[in-house]
Each structure stands twice: as C-alpha cells, then as structure tokens.
Amino acid sequence: MRALTHATFGDAADVLDVTELPTPEPAAGEVRVRTVLSPIHNHDLWTIRGTYGYKPELPAQSGTEAVGVVDALGEGVDTLTVGQRVATGGTFGVWSEYFVTKAAGLIPVPDSISDETAAQLVSMPFSALSLLDFLEVKEGDWILQNTANGAVGKLLAKFAAARGVRVLGLVRRDAGVDELARVGIHDVVSTENDGWRDRVAELLDGASPRAAVDSVGGASAGELLSLLGENGTLVSFGAMESGQLQISSGDLIFKQATVKGFWGSTVSREMDPAKRNALFGELLQRVGSGEVELPVEAVYPIEQGREAAAASAVPGRRGKILLSF
C-alpha cells in the first residue's frame, strides 16, 4: 500500500514522501480500514515537525483522523461489518491507503453524513464540544475566547449557541469580524484598534463571563483573565504566540480565578463512557441537522501530500484541507 511518511522531522511540505509499505493485517479485536479521506490538522503538522506532545520513531507515518470503509475483520470482531463506513479521530498513521485500529474506537457513520464531513467529524468538533462541556457553563452564561476565527473557535461558538450559551470572541484583525459574521457568528470584537475593551463591555452589557479559552498564550491570556468575572475559569487550550502565560496576580487573586489546561486527547481518554456517547450523539445531531457545518477548502490526492500540507498552512482558509486515497 502507499502511505505518506517522513524520514526526518521538519516542515511537512518539505519532508513528506509517498512510500510503499506492507498492507497491515488486523489482530484480534482490530479491523483494517480502507482510507477514503483524511484531514490535515495542526497537530499532525506539529507531530511531523517533532514539536507535539507525541514524538514518533523515524521513519514515521502520519495523520490521525479519517473516514474509510471496513476492509477486514480481526478475530472476535462482531460489532462491525466489511463494507461499513466508519470514522476515527485517534488512530496514528491514517495517511495511508489502509490502516489497522481497534474496532471499539471506530465510529459508524450515518448515511446522511457525507465523506467530506465524516472525515473531520471527530478531532476538531469533538474537541470543541468536549471543551464546552469541560467549562461547566450553563444556558445564559458567557464565555470569552481568542482566535475566535480558528476552526475550534468557530465550532465552540456554534455548539455553545445551540446550548443557549453566549460566546464573545476576540480576533486580531477587523477582517476577522466580517469573516465570522458571514458564518453567523456575531458577538466578535477586533483587538486591532484602541478602545476594543469598550466594545467588549458594550456586548457584555454588565454580564460577568464565567469562563475564557486562551489559544494564544503570552499577554493574550492576561487580557482574557482581566475580563473574567469573579470565580471565573481561564482555560489554556493552545500557545500560538507564546508558551508562557502572562497573567496578573491581582486578577488571579481578587477574582478568585482558576487556571486550567485542556488537552483533548487526555480529556477524551479519561472521559466517562456514558458522557462520551452522549457528546458524540449531540455532535452527530448538530452536524446532521446543519446547525454545525464542517466546510472543506480543497481535496488533494496522496501524491500531492507536500502541496496539501503547504495549502493547510495558508491563513484565511474557509475550510479544511483533505487528503484522498
């Protein structure tokens, strides 16, 4: 089979190659899946660079999420059938024509959901919904977030709106406000201009945000903390700008605030199975109804893996870059 691999760590646009590998055989409790489509996520690119929380041995395969068709069953698997369409969001090495994974970790995909949507159903949407659950907010509460025009930011705003939770998003450019308005997200403030805090206060209209999600780090984390209400929670979700959080001890002390980290992989792994099933049910319902959309910017064949990785790094995309196999 053909697979995208890298013999060194580096920029995916420079180090990815198409390699011939043996087609894997499923062991007991596993299935082999014929890959149809797979998205390129930032964490995939960080893994290829060698800068993510997981660092594979070289030479390494790549990719973590895909939709495909069950191709072969390992011993004892009776919950899936050959030919059934399934999705995975936590299987390493799916940028290949076939992959093997535990049957229990696969999600059957309803006929009503397209391949393009199913391919990106788990990692970003489930992370966003899990993050919303992690914040422990209720209907009528306000959440703050920066990088509101990122993939998870958009999804968090959509899922929150469906639950009656208000989200105030911060973006760095005025154009980001218009970008989000086009997809129905309106409580957004650009920090490009002086006076943005006045606009935040105007939108909140006296409300005290219960939680804030920081994906930037550095001084941006402190800005969010300063806007939180008493007993609020600041969650560190990413570090696009800095690996350090610059926060005020005064804000932390006098607001009696809590600072937490969120890593979707760990949260998902440790989540109660009943809650996980409930969240997946909500995810499928929201996506299936059209309340939450998962747009695609472009689809590249496996032979153009480097070009696809480069396209994924281009700012201003309106959807995911997918690989086809």
Q: Provide the residue-wise pLDDT of the chain in tens; the chain has 325 residues.
A: 999 999 999 999 999 999 999 999 999 999 999 999 999 998 899 999 998 878 899 999 999 999 999 999 999 999 999 999 999 988 999 999 999 999 988 989 988 889 999 999 888 898 899 999 999 999 999 999 998 888 889 999 999 999 999 999 999 999 889 888 988 899 999 999 889 999 999 999 999 999 999 999 899 999 999 999 999 999 998 877 777 888 999 999 999 999 999 987 788 778 888 888 899 889 888 888 888 888 899 999 999 999 999 999 887 677 899 999 9
Both tokens of 275, joined, read 């809650």
Query: How many residues can be counted in the chain?
Result: 325
Q: Could you tell me the CA-to-CA distances from 33 to 30, 68, 70, 325 in Å, in that order?
A: 10, 6, 4, 12
Tell me the β-bridge partners of 300: 323
Q: In angstroms, rounded to a whole number, what is the distance separating the alpha carbons of residues 229 and 114?
A: 41
Please check whether residue 287 is in contact with residue 113, taking contact to mean a CB–CB distance below 8 angstroms.
yes
Both tokens of 321, joined, read 């870059």
E-strand ranges in 154-210 read: 166-171, 188-190
Tell me the β-bridge partners of 298: 321
- pTM of the predicted structure, to 2 decimals: 0.78
Please check whether residue 136 is in contact with residue 235, taking contact to mean a CB–CB distance below 8 angstroms.
no
Instruction: Say if strands 98-102 and 85-88 run parallel, antiparallel, or are unpaired.
Output: unpaired
What Rg value do the Cα atoms of the chain yield, rounded? 20
Q: In angstroms, rounded to a whole number, what is the distance separating the alpha carbons of residues 325 and 306?
A: 14
Please check whether residue 85 is in contact with residue 114, taking contact to mean a CB–CB distance below 8 angstroms.
no
Backbone angles phi, psi at 175, to 5 degrees: -60, -25
Q: Could you tell me the CA-to-CA distances from 12 to 20, 47, 48, 164 in Å, in that order?
A: 18, 9, 6, 40
Q: In angstroms, rounded to a whole number, what is the distance separating the alpha carbons of residues 107 and 80?
A: 10
